[in-house]
Amino acid sequence: MAKTTVSERARNFGAESRGLLPLAAGTLLILLGLLCAWQTWLIADEDGAKQRLHGAQDEAVRSLQGEIAIERGKIVEAVAGVDPAADRDTLIAQLHRALPQASRIEVYSGSLDEVVHADYRQFGYAKAAQLLAAQTAEGQTLMQTVADGAARQLTLVVPLGVPAKPQAWVWLAFPFTALQQRFESIRVPNGRLELHQEDDRNDRFLLESGSDHSQREATGKPVPGSAFSVVAAPPEAFIVLPRSAWLAGLLALLGIGGGGYLLWRRNRQPAEVATPEPEEPILSNVFENKSETVAPVSARPAPAPAPVAVAVDPTIFRAYDVRGIVGKTLTVEVARLLGQSIGTVMREKGLREIVVGRDGRLSGPELAGALSDGLRAAGIDVIDVGAVPTPVVYYAAYRFNTGSGVAVTGSHNPPDYNGFKIVVGGETLSEGAIQDLYRRIAENRLESDGQGSVRHVDVVPDYIERITSDVQAERRLKIVVDCGNGIPGAVAPQVLEGIGCDVIPLYCEVDGTFPNHHPDPSDPHNLEDLIMAVKQTGADLGVAFDGDGDRLGVVTREGEIVFPDRTLMLFARDVLSRQPGATIIYDVKCTGHLRGQILDAGGSPLMWRTGHSLIKAKMRETQAELAGEMSGHFFFKERWYGFDDGIYAGARLLEILAGDLEERTPEQIFATCPKGVSTPELKIEMTEGEHYRFIEKFRQSATFGDATLTTIDGVRADWPDGWGLVRPSNTTPILVLRFDADNAVALKRIQDVFREQLFAVDKTLKLPF
Residues involved in catalysis: 323, 411, 633
Alpha-carbon span 644 to 191, nearest angstrom: 39
DSSP three-state, residue 286: helix
Count of C-beta atoms within a 10 Å radius of residue 426? 15
Alpha-carbon span 398 to 730, nearest angstrom: 27
Four-residue CA torsion sign, 339, 342, 347, 351 = negative
Cα of 622 vs its chain's centroid, Å: 30
How many residues does this entry show for the chain?
A: 769
Instruction: Show Cβ contacts of residue 395 under 8 Å, excluding neighbours closer than 6 positions.
Output: 459, 463, 466, 641, 643, 645
Straight-line distance from the first to the last Cα atom of the chain, in angstroms, rounded to the nearest whole number: 109
Alpha-carbon span 510 to 359, nearest angstrom: 9
DSSP three-state, residue 174: strand
Count of C-beta atoms within a 10 Å radius of residue 416? 15
Q: Which amino acid is at 561?
A: I
In the chain, count H helices and then E strands: 22, 30
Alpha-carbon span 647 to 645, nearest angstrom: 6
Alpha-carbon span 466 to 471, nearest angstrom: 9
From its phi and psi, is residue 103 left (phi > 0), alpha (psi between -120 and 50) or beta?
A: alpha
Count of C-beta atoms within a 10 Å radius of residue 554? 26
Question: In DSSP terms, which residues pair with 64 in a beta bridge?
Answer: none
Alpha-carbon span 459 to 515, nearest angstrom: 28
DSSP structural state of residue 529: H
Nearest in space to 421 (alpha carbons), one of 371, 458, 455: 371
Q: Which amino acid is at 352?
A: R
Map 590-634 to HEC letters. Answer: CCCHHHHHHHHCCCEEEEECCCHHHHHHHHHHHCCCEEECCCCEE
Alpha-carbon span 521 to 543, nearest angstrom: 9
CB 693, CB 583: distance < 8 Å? no
CB 565, CB 586: distance < 8 Å? yes
CB hemisphere CA count around 753 (13 angstroms): 22
CA–CA distance from 438 to each of 339, 345, 441, 633 (Å)? Answer: 11, 12, 5, 27
Alpha-carbon span 598 to 674, nearest angstrom: 12
Nearest in space to 87 (alpha carbons), one of 6, 9, 20, 167: 167
